Structure 1
Amino acid sequence: MTTKIYSEVWDLDVFFKGGSSSPELKEHLESLKRKLDLFELTLSKFDVPKNKSDASKIVSIIEETKQVAENLSQAGAVIGCFLAQDTTDKQANILQGEIGSHSARLSSSMLVLQQKLSKTTDEIWISLMEDEELKEFTFVLNEWRNEAKELLSEKEEDMITVLSVDGYHGWGQLYDLLVGDIKIRITVDGEEKEFSYGQASNLSSHSDATVRRDSFEALEQAWTEKEDFFAKTLNHMAGFRLATYKKRGWDSVLKEPLHMNRMKQETLDAMWGAISAHKAPFVEYLKRKAELVGADAMHWYDLDAPVTQSTQKVSFQQGAEFILDHFGKFGPELEKFSRKAFEDEWIESEDRPNKRPGGFCTGMPMSKQSRIFMTYSGTMSNVATLAHELGHAFHSHALRPVHWMNRQYAMGVAETASTFAEMIVADAAVKEAKTADEKLSLLEDKIQRSVAFFMNIHARFLFETRFYDERKKGLVSASRLNKLMEEAQREAFGDGLGDVHPHFWASKLHFYISRVPFYNFPYTFGYLFSLSIYAKAIEEGSNFEEKYIALLQDTAIMSVEDLAMKHLGEDISQHAFWEKGIALCIKDVEEFLVLTSSKG
């Protein structure tokens, strides 16, 4: 049997032929505009529900909302893919602005709907939620109604939404352009080459210490040269957000991200508290790794350094087959779905210039497909990233039988599915290692993820929390942002670092995503939450996949606390839950320290 060769370039023509200049895309956007016009007209005639018989009107509105939202998501996702694959695509950049305007219109319309639902009397609302047609939407409808009560008047909120297109979101789009313009030149393998930021980021795991340091320093210089641009961008995004919160009477900058993640403050505090209490083993790991790479301390540019000389290169084809093999051992549905993603060219992984940095998975709801973006350079870390994004795609796949209304899951649980998939591959890689050096390298790759979630993400959270505190008092200078980032990194890494990365605030896209505040702690939540799910999967074997899919299908219709209690029987607002997952990660560190006791 001949193995199919998987493409490293995704197929976007299946949606709209001709790229960002596609006539089909143009027609889709014109049709979307007409749908928005009709939706706004429908809402203008929709009255505040006055009796139980109005349930059918709410169902009709839900269906019309679904049609508009899915059309908008489809276009926005594809345009986002055009920009990601080529940051110089000027037409895609123009279309992104158009999508932003359409998104603002839908947001305004949704606000109108929420405000009208919020004016329903409690007695009528209770009777409506008991209606057979609406029962499946109870959680989200209650959420919509309660959200409206936290907002300003319809007119004021509409003003904020409209102004955010060229203000708030415009600043976020400016960041993408600034980063796309970043280029560095350094010598690699005896030849001077030019690298985009995305390509240069992959050099952090290069086997040559000089290349790692040179690329880091060249990028640091690039951030320094444009630090005032990035500082202005970040300040104005935060300023817009804070001004909005102040008008609404919200005191805490965490109110919105916690609500968006359907999470209690107690749960977040318990998670960070447990992590902070157990950082010592990871600091010990950093010190040992510094010895292994021949450094006087663990510098930022050596965090991803290989710890053995025999680190293997894995082709995209090999990586794909490895993922499919081990997904198949977990469950047939995950393997079948992921094979389709490879065979139908859903993945953009080619290493080439002008791609945006990082990786993502985006969904095309009308086509019932996803697309995965990354830059693959042949490391096992890349394989893990690919598995991670396939986990996101599988989450969307698992939710296909569920109504659109009940598919809008929060980021924390989104990262659960992705991290779970990543864990399957990372564990398998360690167990199947053919040599001691290979095992050490793969084990260390696993530990790097723990360091990222327990230390790097914690540093981002600390930085962002403190930055917002200072931004309330006025603009924060680039030099002060550097200082805040350095302090956060030293605290989060337990003083386990030598040279830090003061311009990390400028280099990290997550700080500039306007639609999702505090795009950090949900990653750590997802990582530790998925460890509990993974432990159950190991215990129950292939029989667990059906239960796993059931859990994923509940991710958008309950709080994370209720989700954990229903499917895991755990109280996640207590330290004990988080400590169990952290203990599994510490075991990896302990094994690493034993394996490297005679090295260094």
Structure 2
Amino acid sequence: MFKSLPLPLSDANATAGGGANAFGDLPEWDLSDLYPAPDAPELAADMDWLEAECAAFANDYQGRLATLDAAAMTECIHRYEKIATVSGRVMSYVGLRYYQLTTDGARAKALSDAQDRITTYTAPLVFFSLEFNRIDDAVYAALFSAGDLARYKPVFDRMRATKPYQLSDELEKFLHDSSVVGAAAWNRLFDETEAGLEFDVQGEKLNLEATTTLMQDHDRAKREAAAREMARVLNLNIKTFARIHNTLAKEKEIEDRWRKMPSPQFSRHLSNDVEPEVVEALRNAVVAAYPRLSHRYYRLKAKWLGLDKLQVWDRNAPLPTEAPRTISWDEARATVLGAYAKFSPHMAEIALPFFEKGWIDAAVKPGKSSGAFAHPTVTTVHPYVMLNYLGKPRDVMTMAHELGHGVHQTLAAKQGELLADTPLTLAETASVFGEMLTFRALLDQAKTPAERKTLLAGKVEDMINTVVRQIAFYDFECKLHAARAEGELTPDDINALWMSVQSESLGDAFEFMPGYETYWAYIPHFVHSPFYVYAYAFGDGLVNALYAAYADGLPDFQAKYFAMLEAGGSKHHKELLAPFGLDASDPAFWDKGLSMIAGFIDELEALDAQGV
């Protein structure tokens, strides 16, 4: 229940740049709202407070939770929430500083030391969830039926859902204490290995972010050079990446076995507060739709590019009719805020301070963490957004996506630290909706059929990357964890698992170059948050259905939408979607979302038939 480090959500690490450049004056984080400096007395005081309060909390409540009346339980939860807030503030600060410059030894040490100290300080709190779950069901139901405790019930309902899978108090404490040398350590090794990768593309030294960006370049030779260099460098490091995946998958298998989890995916479903059958329905609907989505679209794209077969470096290539352009930071900002304001001025008002108050770090810099994320920090401060802005059209969509997260996190903060966090399946709702608003605003401004075709193709590719590609990633992870349970995996074993999902998901329009089999190695989701990836497909399908309700004129849509975001993690997805007439547990629900993508491809085929 304590806040983790922010998760870098894209594939790479950034390179040169920063401050004023071709894209304009790019903002950088001002982290002083968290702490004035790494040696600030406020930070030291919070660390001292945590040490003392965790010990005092355990002394006051261990062995007594089942005897507390409503007033005493309320005070207990408020104290527990304050510990979560202070520890989250500390870890947010040291984590965000680290992600600004992952290659800096002092920042890495500060992060590691803070993790070690907080792990030690919070060790006495391990009793809390274990003892809480042993409270008699009737006592629990009566206690949490009214007053302030009733508000917290969704949090503790989710906690009690883990009851069948918890271990002895002693084992849980051991896992807590050893976490800093387990998954957390392997996560850092992955991050630091990625940050240190260097690519030589046509004589230019690049890091991963810039190299993957080149695979969207208009120049096909440049795209190919970047793709082949990616494969070369990943292959040089493949043993390290294979060791990381082997170790983390085995560690997870051991813990899942001890906890008697029914599957490797189950703990993710549990933390997402989503039923396994709902995820399975989503997965099956997407896989069944591969032929009418990705396979059909990529055959069209091969035709547009004049190719018999697409190569991996053509997957995200711009269309031949698309004029190369660099989008300034100011234009991107105006586009996204304008789209938000058209939906609701309130949405734009919430997003505006991110640009004005140092809540976005946008420049591409050596050693900066990969891609993009929005980290909520704690509910008493505000979120921070990380981008690696390179002036591409997709960077504008990334801005819209992460600001959507920021708006969601800001609205949910009123729930307080324990109730604000949204399960991953719903956490992607506002971000993907923000993208959709921006796309629709651009589509409405299209002046010619060719411009409309370019926008539609870009959106279809984004949706395929969000839905088809992420479900293929999910299938890869399922296969990886199942295979690792049978024994150690060589790099070739993992490569083969990766390729087994690629041709199935991308279709017969593709030919895969030698070396593409290593591309699993640089994707951080598999390391940082196993089985995270289906949340993207969940969010996209959900947003497509939501947007259809909005376009159909559902009464009071904006008010219902903001109420959903403000709820944070206080309600189950069934309850949140009911005002929109939607139900994610209905298998037909997912076909509605997928039909929107298919409809865009229908329009592209019609434009193609007209010679556009």
1:548 aligns with 2:561: yes
1:114–1:220 CA distance, 2 compared to 1 (3 A): same
Unpaired runs of at least 5, structure 2: 1-23
Matched residue, 2:64: 48
1:369 aligns with 2:382: yes
Residue by residue, what CA displacement relative to the aligned partner does 1:316-353 show, whole Å, maximum 9, x if unpaired? 11010011111001112110111121111211111333
Partners of 2:579 and 2:25 in 1: how far apart?
A: 36
Matched residue, 1:260: 271
1:472–1:106 CA distance, 2 compared to 1 (3 A): farther
Contact 1:360 1:373 in 2 (8 A): yes
Match of 2:603 among 591, 594, 600: 591
Partners of 2:534 and 2:115 in 1: how far apart?
A: 26
Contact 2:29 2:358 in 1 (8 A): yes
Match of 2:210 among 186, 194, 199: 199
Match of 1:23 among 21, 39, 54: 39
Alignment RMSD, CA only?
2.1
Q: How far apart are 1:502 and its partner, in Å? A: 1.4
1:318 aligns with 2:331: yes
Q: How far apart are 1:229 and its partner, in Å? A: 0.4
Matched residue, 1:466: 479
Matched residue, 1:129: 144
1:56-455 matched pairs, under 5 angstroms: 56-105=71-120, 108-187=123-202, 192-282=203-293, 283-307=295-319, 308-365=321-378, 367-455=380-468
1:13–1:134 CA distance, 2 compared to 1 (3 A): closer
Q: How far apart are 1:239 and its partner, in Å? A: 1.0
Partners of 1:109 and 1:413 in 2: how far apart?
A: 32
Partners of 1:474 and 1:112 in 2: how far apart?
A: 34
1:589–1:33 CA distance, 2 compared to 1 (3 A): farther
Q: Secondary structure at the match of 1:138?
A: helix
One-letter identity of the residue aligned with 2:290: K
Q: Report the TM-score when normalising by structure 2.
A: 0.91
1:107–1:529 CA distance, 2 compared to 1 (3 A): farther
1:268–1:495 CA distance, 2 compared to 1 (3 A): farther
1:598–1:212 CA distance, 2 compared to 1 (3 A): farther
Q: Secondary structure at the match of 1:134?
A: helix
Residue by residue, what CA displacement relative to the aligned partner does 1:157-209 show, whole Å, maximum 9, x if unpaired? 1111211211221001100010001111112xxxx321111121211211111
1:568–1:381 CA distance, 2 compared to 1 (3 A): same
* Greater mean deviation of Cα atoms: 492-501 or 318-327: 492-501
1:517 aligns with 2:536: no
1:12 aligns with 2:31: yes
One-letter identity of the residue aligned with 1:267: V
Q: Secondary structure at the match of 1:502?
A: helix
* Greater mean deviation of Cα atoms: 411-420 or 27-36: 27-36
One-letter identity of the residue aligned with 2:193: L
* Greater mean deviation of Cα atoms: 31-40 or 244-253: 31-40
Contact 2:54 2:122 in 1 (8 A): no
Partners of 1:397 and 1:268 in 2: how far apart?
A: 27
Q: How far apart are 1:132 and its partner, in Å? A: 1.6
Contact 1:199 1:352 in 2 (8 A): no
Identity level (%): 22
Contact 2:272 2:425 in 1 (8 A): yes
1:94–1:422 CA distance, 2 compared to 1 (3 A): same
Contact 2:379 2:416 in 1 (8 A): no
Partners of 2:611 and 2:93 in 1: how far apart?
A: 49
1:113–1:379 CA distance, 2 compared to 1 (3 A): same
* Greater mean deviation of Cα atoms: 384-393 or 544-553: 544-553
Partners of 2:559 and 2:367 in 1: how far apart?
A: 41
Matched residue, 1:456: 469
Contact 2:58 2:125 in 1 (8 A): no
Matched residue, 2:7: none
One-letter identity of the residue aligned with 1:588: F
One-letter identity of the residue aligned with 1:442: L
Contact 1:168 1:237 in 2 (8 A): yes
Unpaired runs of at least 5, structure 1: none
Partners of 1:174 and 1:200 in 2: how far apart?
A: 21
Q: How far apart are 1:586 and its partner, in Å? A: 0.8
* Greater mean deviation of Cα atoms: 246-255 or 75-84: 75-84
Q: How far apart are 1:491 and its partner, in Å? A: 1.6
One-letter identity of the residue aligned with 1:297: K
* Greater mean deviation of Cα atoms: 290-299 or 106-115: 106-115
Contact 2:541 2:590 in 1 (8 A): yes
Matched residue, 1:574: 586
* Greater mean deviation of Cα atoms: 590-599 or 453-462: 590-599
Matched residue, 2:12: none
Contact 1:8 1:316 in 2 (8 A): no
Q: How far apart are 1:405 and its partner, in Å? A: 2.1
For these two proteins, the number of residue pairs brought into alignment is 584
Higher-RCO chain (CA-CA 8 Å, sequence separation at least 6): 2
Contact 2:479 2:497 in 1 (8 A): yes
Q: Secondary structure at the match of 1:70?
A: helix
1:9–1:472 CA distance, 2 compared to 1 (3 A): same
Contact 1:292 1:599 in 2 (8 A): no
Q: Report the TM-score when normalising by structure 1.
A: 0.92
Partners of 1:12 and 1:138 in 2: how far apart?
A: 33
1:337–1:261 CA distance, 2 compared to 1 (3 A): same
Partners of 2:44 and 2:600 in 1: how far apart?
A: 50
Contact 2:467 2:536 in 1 (8 A): no
Partners of 1:432 and 1:27 in 2: how far apart?
A: 50
Contact 2:379 2:413 in 1 (8 A): no
Q: How far apart are 1:368 and its partner, in Å? A: 2.5
Residue by residue, what CA displacement relative to the aligned partner does 1:186-241 show, whole Å, maximum 9, x if unpaired? 12xxxx32111112121121111111111111111110001000000111111111
Q: How far apart are 1:119 and its partner, in Å? A: 2.2
One-letter identity of the residue aligned with 1:161: H
1:504 aligns with 2:516: no
* Greater mean deviation of Cα atoms: 225-234 or 31-40: 31-40
Partners of 2:296 and 2:386 in 1: how far apart?
A: 34
1:40–1:142 CA distance, 2 compared to 1 (3 A): farther
1:541–1:124 CA distance, 2 compared to 1 (3 A): closer
Partners of 1:541 and 1:122 in 2: how far apart?
A: 40
Contact 2:282 2:538 in 1 (8 A): yes
1:36–1:297 CA distance, 2 compared to 1 (3 A): farther
Contact 1:310 1:438 in 2 (8 A): no
One-letter identity of the residue aligned with 2:453: L
